[in-house]
Chains A and B, each alone.
Chain A
Amino acid sequence: MLPDYGETEILLVEDNPTDLELALRVLRKHELANRIEVARDGAEALDFLFGEGAYAGRGGLQIPKVILLDLKLPKIGGLEVLRRIKGDPRTRTIPIVVLTSSQEEKDLVESYQLGVNSYIVKPVDFDQFSDCLKQIGIYWLLSNAPPKVNAP
């Protein structure tokens, strides 16, 4: 029996509207965006996952198959979002892919120390960008086998 991941397969946390549009276009094109949720800042992302704030009363905890996380975000930054998700036993198992423009070594190192599952530098070239997103989607939604949601 497949575990119930609720409505959402992908949580895309992205504040840049053009990056968001490009990402959504690629995911849709490859039919990976059927059950996608978009958060425009870190706070919104956390509220969604923990069923708080604007998401209160929408069924509590949400466990997507993968979170695509930008680092430079308004309100609560990407690294802080990463820290909170990986620091909470209820959300720790959710695979997180950092998808960022930052090539800074310290961002990379800190992300891995916080337990990120993958770190992707967004290519400027659109072909490479779309190829990259497609692979991420296919890998985490189709190839990867996640643990049961309520496993301890």
Chain B
Amino acid sequence: MISTPPRRLRSKKATSETEPTSVLTERKRAAEAAAELAAIVESSDDAIIGKDLQGIITSWNAGAETMFGYAASEMIGHSITCLIPPARQNEEAEILGQIKRGESLRHFETVRVRKDGSTVDVSVAVSAIKDRTGKIVGASKVVRDMTEKGRAAQALIASELRYRRLFESAKDGILILDAETGMVVDVNPFLITTLGYSREEFLGKAIWDLGFFKDTWANAEKFSELREKEYVRYEHLPLETSDGQKMEVEFVSNVYLVNGHKVIQCNVRDVTKRRKAEETVRQLNANLEQRVILRTAQLEAANKDLESFSYSVSHDLRAPLRAISGFSRIVLEDHSAGMDADGLRYLNLVEKSAQQMGQLIDDLLTFSRTGRQALNVQPVITADVVNAALDDLKTMQENRRVNISVGDLADCEADPSLLRQVWLNLLSNALKYTRKCDPAVITIGSRREGGMDVFFVRDNGAGFDMKYADKLFGVFQRLHLTDDYEGTGVGLALVQRIVQRHGGRVWAEAKLNLGATFHFTLTGGHDAA
């Protein structure tokens, strides 16, 4: 608004270089004091105007420029009456009269005119300016823009309204207490509706007299704790509404000063729903637990059923088989005299089939038992297990040439009897499928691979076509005719089950008529089944 700052306060020029030093210093000090005063006057928002006893303006600060729109250069030397509306022209004479009598004027409210002709509500204070001899030579006027003040007041009202609205519309209950007396100063509508008490029932009552708080705030002692602590938080505070409904709230209170007076603000949040949700979650978890227990029980029952089924199979199916086998034999022994060759052959087939079925049942039961029995993992010297298995298979090596070479065998951790079964099955397979080889060559060993020991059995026997490799480990799966190589198709399924229960893996590579190699790992003996 103002581009060039004009000189507003006259100050004496302290210049002459011929003056003595002491006088110079004196003057310098005076000049500094005047400059400081001028700066204060300049920075004031109020209009500060100096005038002589004739009402001629002698100084005009920045506040005056802002308030009235005149620059200092326009006003200094002119009469102040141009600021006074025509209806109030007599005011100036009165003011000057009072000043001349040595009286000063406290703030009085009046109206002045701006350069643009608009009026401004002001509060004016006037005091006399005296010269060194004490003679009144003029007056200083401090003019405050009351429009600004009004605006500030309005802003305050607006602010109060905003926060009031926040208080009124909050979805949390808010309670303001007098920290000295514990009396309720204010309560917001939310808390009123939530608890079902009227505003009157809240106001002027001590917090411990409010019905819904009685449990916790039964005495003033509790309240003083609240007052002392400055900050109190209760996660779950039980409250009771006026109609007897129980609810739970989160209660937070803060103590703060308002005009030097301690006030406690309490925020009350209804957590009944949250608590109910938590309770529901807890309930659901409990139900889940219950269902897991139930399922486990069902599984255990199913396992029991399976066990009793296996028991029946082993017991009840074998008896009729023994009868078939037994009586065909008796017929062959005692009554073969009158029988032709076909009859004899058929009876032999009956007996052989019964034996085969007996073997199937036994293998299946072994397979089922292997899946259920507990693992008893311990350190095992693999070479001992392999040698024992080879010893058991002596009869399969009789009357033929078999070259068995046992290489390095890493020791392992396994269930000894189950591991023995693995080696027994793999080695008997190797011996079985090399039956037509002369000589049979079987290589046994282990190698370190990917941080694991891989055990293997290699033979030069019948092998198989790799496209059937996925069927190799299935129960009752066979890749050869029973006529060529006998078996029930359980052996490798059993090997896989045992290896997997140890946390390991078994696989094979082979070529038809060029032998097969079976590899397996045992990782630590974690029951992966």
What residues of chain A have their CB less than 8 Å away from a CB belonging to chain B? 16, 18-19, 22, 25, 71-72, 100-105, 122-127, 129
Which of chain A's residues have a CB closer than 8 A to the CB of B314?
101-104
Q: Is the interface of B mostly helix, strand, loop or mixed?
A: helix
CB of B329 within 8 A of CB of A126, answer yes
Provided the pairs A18-B320, A124-B358, A125-B358 are in contact, do residues A101 and B315 lie with their beta carbons within 8 angstroms? yes
Contact for B325 among A72, A102, A104, A126, CB less than 8 A: A126
Q: Chain A interface mostly helix, strand, loop or mixed?
A: loop
Q: How far is the CB of B195 from chain A (nearest CB, A)?
A: 68
Residues of the B chain whose Cβ atoms lie less than 8 Å from the Cβ of A22: 322-323, 326-327, 330
Residues of A contacting B323 in the complex (Cβ-Cβ under 8 angstroms): 18-19, 22
Partner of B322, one of A71, A105, A129: A129
| A18 CA to B319 CA, complexed, in Å | 8
Q: Which residues of B contact A100 (CB under 8 A)?
A: 315
Contact A125 B325 (CB under 8 A): yes
- Residues in B with CB closer than 8 Å to A72 are 315-316
Tell me if B354 counts as interface (CB < 8 A to partner A).
yes
> Which of A16, A25, A103, A126 is close to B319, meaning CB atoms less than 8 Å apart?
A16
- A100 and B318 CA atoms in complex are apart in Å by 10
Asked if B330 contacts A25 (CB within 8 A), the reply is yes
Is B311 in contact with chain A by the CB < 8 A criterion?
A: yes
Q: How far is the CB of B22 from chain A (nearest CB, A)?
A: 125
Is B355 interfacial (CB-CB < 8 Å)? yes
Q: Is residue B351 contacting chain A, with contact meaning CB distance below 8 A?
A: yes
Tell me the residues in window 316-350 of chain B with beta carbons closer than 8 Å to chain A beta carbons.
Answer: 316, 318-323, 325-330
B365 at the interface (CB under 8 A from A): yes
Min Cβ gap B96→A in Å is 126
Interface residues on B, range: 20 to 34
State whether A103 and B325 are in contact (beta carbons under 8 Å apart), knowing that A72-B315, A125-B358 are contacts in the complex.
Answer: no
Among B318, B327, B351: residue with most chain A CB under 10 A: B318
CB-CB under 8 A from B321, the residues of chain A are 124
Q: Report which of A19, A104, A123 forms a contact with B311, defined as CB distance below 8 A.
A: A104
Closest to A18 in B: B323
Partner of A18 from B316, B326, B357 at Cβ < 8 Å: B326
Task: Contact check, B318 vs A101: say whether CB atoms are below 8 A apart.
Answer: yes
Q: Using Cβ atoms and an 8 Å threshold, which residues of chain B touch A16?
A: 319
- 21 interchain pairs (CB within 8 A)? A18-B322, A19-B323, A22-B322, A22-B327, A71-B315, A72-B316, A101-B316, A101-B318, A102-B311, A102-B315, A103-B362, A103-B365, A104-B310, A104-B311, A105-B369, A124-B322, A124-B357, A126-B322, A126-B328, A129-B322, A129-B325
Known: A18-B319, A72-B315, A104-B314. A124 touches B355 (CB 8 A): yes
- Complex Cα distance, B366 from A103, in Å, reads 10
B128 to chain A, nearest CB (A): 122
B322/A19 in contact, CB under 8 A: yes
In angstroms, Cα B314 to Cα A43, docked, is 24
Query: Taking the nearest CB of chain B, how far is it from the CB of A129, in angstroms?
Result: 6
Of all chain A residues, which has the CB nearest B354?
A124
CB distance from A30 to the nearest CB of B (A): 14
Residues of B within 8 A of A127 (CB): 329
Within 8 A of A (CB), among B282-326: 310-311, 314-316, 318-323, 325-326
A8 to B362, CA, bound (A): 35
With a CB–CB cut-off of 8 A, which chain A residues contact B358? 124-125
In the complex, what residues of B have CB within 8 A of residue A122's CB?
318, 322
How far does the alpha carbon of A92 sit from the alpha carbon of B328 in the complex, in Å?
Answer: 39
* A101 and B325 contacting across the interface, CB-CB below 8 Å: no
Closest to B351 in A: A126
Q: Which residues of A contact B326 (CB under 8 A)?
A: 18, 22, 126, 129
Contacts of B365 in A (CB 8 A): 103
What B residues does A19 contact at CB under 8 A? 319, 322-323
Q: Which are the 4 A-B pairs with shortest beta-carbon distances? A: A124-B358, A18-B323, A126-B326, A126-B329
A21–B326 Cα distance when bound, in Å, is 10
Q: How far is the CB of B331 from chain A (nearest CB, A)?
A: 11
CB distance from B26 to the nearest CB of A (A): 122
A71 and B318 CA atoms in complex are apart in Å by: 14
Task: Write the chain A residue with the least CB distance to B325.
Answer: A126
- Closest CB in chain B relative to A54 CB, distance in Å: 26
- How many angstroms from the CA of A103 to the CA of B358 in the assembled complex? 13
Question: Beyond A19-B319, A123-B322: 12 further Cβ-contacts under 8 Å?
Answer: A18-B319, A22-B322, A22-B327, A25-B330, A101-B316, A101-B318, A124-B318, A124-B355, A125-B325, A125-B355, A126-B351, A129-B322
| Set of chain A residues within 8 Å of B310, measured between Cβ atoms | 104
A127 to B362, CA, bound (A): 18
Give the chain B neighbours of A25 by CB distance below 8 A. 330
Chain A residue, CB-CB nearest to B322: A124
| Shortest distance from the beta carbon of A42 to any chain B beta carbon, whole Å | 15
In the complex, the answer to whether B319 meets A101 with C-beta atoms within 8 Å is yes
